[in-house]
Every structure is written in C-alpha cells, then in structure tokens.
Structure 1
Amino acid sequence: MKTVYMDYAATTYVKPEVLNEMMPYFTEKFGNPSSFYDLSRETSRAIDEARGNIAKALNCETNEIYFTGGGSESDNWAIKGIAYAHKNKGNHIITSKVEHHAVLHTCEYLEKNGFEVTYLDVDEDGFINLKELENAITDKTILVSIMFANNEIGTIQPIKEIGTICRERKIFFHTDAVQAIGNIPVDVKELNISLLSLAAHKIYGPKGIGVLYIKRGIKIDNLIHGGGQERGRRAGTENIASIVGLGKAIGLAVENLDEHAKRMTELRDRLIKGLLTIPYSNLNGPEGEQRLPGNANIGFEFIEGESILLSLDFEGVCASSGSACTSGSLDPSHVLLAIGLPHERAHGSLRLTMGDGTTEEDVDYVIEVLPPIIQRLRNMSPLWEDHLKKGEK
C-alpha cells in the first residue's frame, strides 16, 4: 500500500547525512567528554563543533548554546529557570493561549507556586495583539514567552516586535522556535530574543536532543542538578551522537532554507487549494507568508477529525488532528478553540504538514482520496443529516 507521510510537524525522519555523521559516536568514538584522555577529547571536540554550527545558524555565540533532552525540557528550563532566578524582582509571566503544552503546563505549575500568569488572547488567525501585550506588562513582569510559529495552524508571530517591546521594558523574552527552525530565518540578535528553544527531530535530526539558547549574562536557575556539564548549567553525561546529529541537521537546514521554504510553500498552497474545493471546508490559520511554509490545517464541518484520520490511515496517509503531544486526548484542540472555533468545528479539523520527502504526487494523492472520505463520513453523521433536513444542502 502507498504510504504518504503528512505529519512533519510531529516529527521528521533522520537524513542519511545526519545518521552517517552520528554513527561513529555510538561505536568507535564513545569516550566521555568529561574525561582527560584523547578518546574523550575527540568527543569533546565533536560537541564543540556541533555547538558552533548551531550558534552560526542562530547568529549567537557558542557559549550561549546549551544542549537539552528536547524542546519540552528547553521550554521548562527557560520558564522555570527565569521565574525562580528573578522572583525577587517580580512574579508575573505573560504567554499566549495557543502555546505548546510544554509552555502552558509549565506556566500552570508556576501558578500553583506563587507566580501569576497572563494568557493573551489571539485573533481568528492565531496572532497575539501587540497592544494587549504592552498593556499586560506590569512592574512585576519578568518574562514573556510567545512561540515563534504555531505547531497546529502555522501562525508566525511578530517576533521582532515582541522582542523590541520586551527589550524596551527590560523583560526577558523566550520563544519556542521548535517549528520555526529549518522553515524560516531565525536570528536571535536581530529579533531581540533572550532565550530560544529548539529540537533536533523537527529538522531531520534524532529524537531526544534539543537546545536552549540563553543570551550571555542572563541569570537562570538550573533545571537539572548533578555534574558540571554544559558549563555547570545542565548536568548529565552528554548525548554525543545526538548532539553531533543536531549539529549536522541544523547546518543542512540553514544551507537549504530558501529552497526548502519555496518548495514547501508551493506544495502547501497546492494542497490547500485542492482541499478547499470540498464543500463546507475552511482554512484554519492565516494565509500566505504569515503561515509556516509546509503547514495546512483544514476544518471540515459535520464530522470529527479522528474519523478522518482513521480513514486516511486506511488509504496510507499519515496525518494528525493537532499536536502529537496530545493525540491521546478526546478534547478539541486548545489552539482551535482559542481562535474562536466552536467545539464541533474544532473537532472536525485536520492538520497536514509537509517536508523534504513530500512530492507533488503525494499532495495530489491526498486531494484525490480525501473528498470521498469526507462525503462517506458525512453520510453517516447525524450532524450532516440535521443539516440536510434544514434544507441547507
């Protein structure tokens, strides 16, 4: 059976070039970087090289890059680390209602521990209002955490403007850039970013490795305590092979960024145009350049997304109804609810995300198999039956 992978926002495959770079560090070059013999110095140099590649990609210094276990750890560290290190200055944090749960649940945890959190509303396309952000800032505000690009509906936030507001008000600005890296340019200096999270497995690198960028001079509490790795800020023996893989993956991503974005945009627009010919369908999120290149999120009225996913799986299409981190939940997407969709419409949405392995043939296949699936499911739906009875055919 034909397999069409349309869930690159959930994870990507490891590119052969990345895997080849990693392999020696599983077998031959296995020394602990903290030891003092040549075998260990070799792995230490490999980590330094990867750190340099990541710093170059973000336009920062190598000593501002810290390796973590992934995007969720980086988000936790950034938010908890700043909160506890600066609680003497204030206890107020600002975020948005459409953040990844690694940010939202961390903020909820801090609320139970004496901190106050403002959750900014978003408009129908998922954008925060900059004036509302400014109005939410108080003399107790110590951190703003707004994601760079949304993992469900592809909204690219006005990061430079947010960074400028935070810099002028002397507030730390953290952004979850997990979906942005490898899809759009990211320059932490130009954008006035204080802390940034990223993960390797979204850019054709291995799972279980990420980065937290911490601007030089920022005081932050440690999340993990133990040894003196990562210059005393993140304990634990380094995941050498994965660090090397991340360094290679981000280098490839930046090198091919323009070409990748152009092709993904063309495929995205082709897919959206084809699927919006289905009656009672709608695009969730913004159009054009304000949307991630490979992201399409389409709502289909009168049916549920889970049924669409099962039917697509039968046709060999891998997709999702929202974030992979909450795929076990029966609740509608918090992102879709935040942009104003009613529960029944939020339940009927489908996220299709494309990547380097996606072809025009893949897109056309989805455009071919999805309309009959939608019609078949509607024919079994009481909502569709009620709709027809109302004479709104």
Structure 2
Amino acid sequence: MSQTHKYIYLDHNSTTPMDSRVLEAMLPFLEVNFANPSSTHLFGQSVNEKVIQAREQIAYIINAEPNELIFTSGATEAINIAIKGVAESYSIKGNHIISVSTEHKAVLDTCKDLERKGYECTFLPVKSNGLIDIAELEKSIRPDTILVSVMFVNNETGVFQPIKEIAALVHEKGVLFMTDATQAVGKMEIDVVDLDIDLLCFSGHKMYAPKGIGALYIKQRGNKVKLTPQIHGGGHEQGLRSGTLNVPGIIALAKACEVASLEMGQNQQHIAQLRDFLEAELLKLPNTALNGSSKNRIFNTTNICFKGQDANVLIGRMKNIAVSNGSACSSAVVESSHVLKAMGINEEDAFASLRFSLGKYNTIEDIETVINRIKELTELNF
C-alpha cells in the first residue's frame, strides 16, 4: 500500500490506514467464518479456535499470557474497565487514584467521573519537557492510594515516561500500576513482565488494524489484579467484558501484531528519518519551537509551535495534507490543547501548535511537499 498523490496523511496518532494484509486476514471472518465463537456447534468452535490463536499472537507482542488479555472495543473502553474495575475492587484499601495532567481524556474523564462518586484523584503536573517529576509522584502516594495510571507515550507530543522506574516505585509502595500504551504498542518493544505492569490498554486502529477493537492486559502472574466487571450480560472474557466477541476485529488485530513484530525495526528507522527531516526543516523557519522533550520521545511524532500563527487556519489551508492541532472541538467550543498547557505553554502558543504523526506508508516526497506548503503558508500569514 502507498499513499495517493491526492492526499498526504500525517495524523497517524489519531488513526492509521488498515494494512492490506490485515484486511485480507480479516475478510473471511466477515464473509465465511462468521459464526459466533461462543456457539457449541462445530462451526462456532472452529471460529473459537481461530480466536484462541489470535489471542496468543496479540499477547506475544507485549510478552503477556493469553489469559491475561480481554478484548474490548478499543483503548477507551479498556481504560474505563481498568480504572473503574480497580476502584470498586480495591475500595476497602482506599479511594485515592493518581494520574497525570497530560493523560488522554479517556483517563482524565474516567477519573473525574469517579471523583463525583466520592473517590479522590491526584493529577500530577509535568515539567516543560512533558515528563513527570518522580519525586513528586512519590510524595503523592498515600496509604489509601489504590492505583497509579501513567501514559506510556503521549499522543500529542510523543513524549514517553520512564515506565519501568515508575512501576518499581509504585509497587514498592504496594500500589497497582496501569499504563495507557495506545501510542506505544506496535511501534516499540514492550515487555509487561520486565516493566512489571499490572494493567495496560491499547487499540488496534493505532497500529494499522480497524477501529472498534482493542485489548486490556490484566496481570495474572504473581500478585493477580482483580477487577470488578463493568459490563454484564453473558460472562464473556472471563466475566470482565460481556458481549459477543468482535471476531473480525480480533483476527485483524492479531495480524497487525504479527506484522508489527516482524517489521518494527525497519518501520522505526524509516519513520524516524522522515520525522527528523521534517522537524529539522520546519524548525529552521522563524518563530518556531519544539513542544516537549526531544530525547524521551517516540520516533514518529513531532509537535511544533508556529508562533503568531493560527493552527486551525493552517490546517484548513493545507487542503490535501492531514495534520492535527491536538485541540478538543465541539459544536460550540474550540479549546487549546490541555497537554501543551499542562507543560506551561501559553494559550496563544498552544493554538499555534501543530502535531505531525508519521506512519510507515509516508515517503520523502510527502515530507518535502508538507515542508514546502507550510513554508508558503507561514510566509503568507506573517
């Protein structure tokens, strides 16, 4: 697969195109092998065997055991099941949850919902580079803290936190550790055993699989993590996520994990070269600045402030180029990025910032076109 000349897509942290090999693997389970895997007849059981194989393949990419995964509709659902499930299961110990001010809204809004129900949540600040202060985290942990949730890779800046160090500290205090790894799985090596992660969430559509499928890793080796089910109605997925399995999505996610495992190294090299070239050229423009750490960052993302510009205007005038400004929009309100503001970036500069998130199908020609177009637009606007 390659990008068409009509459209240049640099918004892969939002969603990715489906890999043609993933689509090919998925199609028979829409057309022919459509049986419900929970059915007891041979047709259903043959499909169930494929689900079992898929679960093994998906578990492999994060070094989990197959029985430590439950399938969800995506990371948002997985996050809700994990945080709310912990909150209810461990309420005897306490009602305090710690997260970070730059987390995805799926985590922030879930925590805020729990606050309305009597739980206490601490949202850690970040430094100007987007990293948390480990000492601040340690001070925030209390006897009644039951969960710490820290995003693996930030979706807007690409900044990644020292997950292994954080997990070790959290466990030393006798607290569960969760990470939203939506922007990390499939892009970088992740070993839940080595990192000592209790709960991990991810989505298929960030790694060239379709929308509507994701997974939640729940540690079952050693100190098992217990969750109170949030969705009832049939006892599927070990009773933690009832509902007929999305078999085509599961098969697709497994194929995406297989492809990612095989091609991770070459994808990292290819995409990093393009990202570094794009970033270097754009930062040569006057009144530009990089948002977030340049070192502790995933290879496919750059977030750049074009001071004095309006990011929404730039996006609208790029026409055939897809990038993001990281803002949350509704019919009535456009808000600047909560991630950038948490890093100390003022409202004006947050509105002037663009996120570029590259993928494996991007080419050097794509990047050169984007650079030239942004040069034209920024010169026009000054």
- Global fold match (TM > 0.5): yes
Q: Deviations over 1:297-320 (max 9, x none)?
A: 11011121100110112xx11111
Q: Equivalent residue for 1:188?
A: 192
2:61 and 2:186 in contact (8 A); partners too:
no
Residues 11-22 of structure 1 aligned to structure 2 (within 5 Å): 11-22=15-26
| Cα distance in structure 1, aligned partners of 2:271 and 2:18 | 18
Q: Does 1:302 align with 2:331?
A: no
> How far is the alpha carbon of 1:280 from its aligned partner?
0.2
1:156 and 1:291 in contact (8 A); partners too:
yes
SS at match of 1:189: helix
Equivalenced residue count is: 373
Q: What amino acid maps onto 1:305 in structure 2?
A: A
Q: Equivalent residue for 2:275?
A: 268
1:332 to 322, 333, 336: 336
Q: Does 1:98 align with 2:102?
A: yes
SS at match of 2:99: strand
1:243 to 244, 250, 253: 250
| Cα distance in structure 2, aligned partners of 1:272 and 1:306 | 19
> How far is the alpha carbon of 1:250 from its aligned partner?
1.1
Q: Does 1:10 align with 2:17?
A: no
SS at match of 1:212: strand
Q: Deviations over 1:30-50 (max 9, x none)?
A: 111111111101111111111
Q: Deviations over 1:112-136 (max 9, x none)?
A: 1110011000011110011111110
Identity of aligned residues (%): 41
> How far is the alpha carbon of 1:341 from its aligned partner?
0.5
> How far is the alpha carbon of 1:2 from its aligned partner?
2.9
Q: What amino acid maps onto 1:81 in structure 2?
A: G
Q: Deviations over 1:52-71 (max 9, x none)?
A: 01111111111000000101
Q: What amino acid maps onto 2:48 in structure 1?
A: S
2:124 to 120, 132, 141: 120
Q: Identify if the C-alpha distance between structure 1 residues 327 and 10 changes in structure 2 by more than 3 Å, giving closer, same or farther.
A: farther
* Aligned-residue CA RMSD (Å): 1.0
> How far is the alpha carbon of 1:377 from its aligned partner?
2.2
Q: Deviations over 1:207-243 (max 9, x none)?
A: 0010000001211011211102112211000000001
Q: Does 1:292 align with 2:301?
A: no
SS at match of 1:269: helix
5+ long unaligned stretches in structure 2: none
Residues 359-378 of structure 1 aligned to structure 2 (within 5 Å): 359-378=363-382
| Cα distance in structure 1, aligned partners of 2:176 and 2:308 | 44
Q: Does 1:146 align with 2:150?
A: yes
Q: Equivalent residue for 1:209?
A: 213
SS at match of 1:256: helix
Q: Deviations over 1:123-157 (max 9, x none)?
A: 11110011111110000000000000000000010
1:50 and 1:247 in contact (8 A); partners too:
yes
1:8 and 1:354 in contact (8 A); partners too:
yes
SS at match of 1:77: helix
5+ long unaligned stretches in structure 1: 379-393
Q: What amino acid maps onto 2:144 in structure 1?
A: K
> How far is the alpha carbon of 1:327 from its aligned partner?
4.1
1:97 and 1:335 in contact (8 A); partners too:
yes
| Cα distance in structure 2, aligned partners of 1:277 and 1:51 | 46
| Cα distance in structure 2, aligned partners of 1:253 and 1:223 | 31
Q: Equivalent residue for 1:176?
A: 180
SS at match of 1:58: coil
SS at match of 1:193: coil
Q: Equivalent residue for 1:382?
A: none
Q: Equivalent residue for 2:288?
A: 281
Q: Equivalent residue for 2:37?
A: 33
1:147 and 1:176 in contact (8 A); partners too:
yes
Q: Equivalent residue for 1:231?
A: 238
Q: What amino acid maps onto 1:247 in structure 2?
A: A
> How far is the alpha carbon of 1:256 from its aligned partner?
1.1
| Cα distance in structure 1, aligned partners of 2:182 and 2:257 | 12
SS at match of 2:217: strand
Q: Does 1:78 align with 2:82?
A: yes
1:307 and 1:377 in contact (8 A); partners too:
no
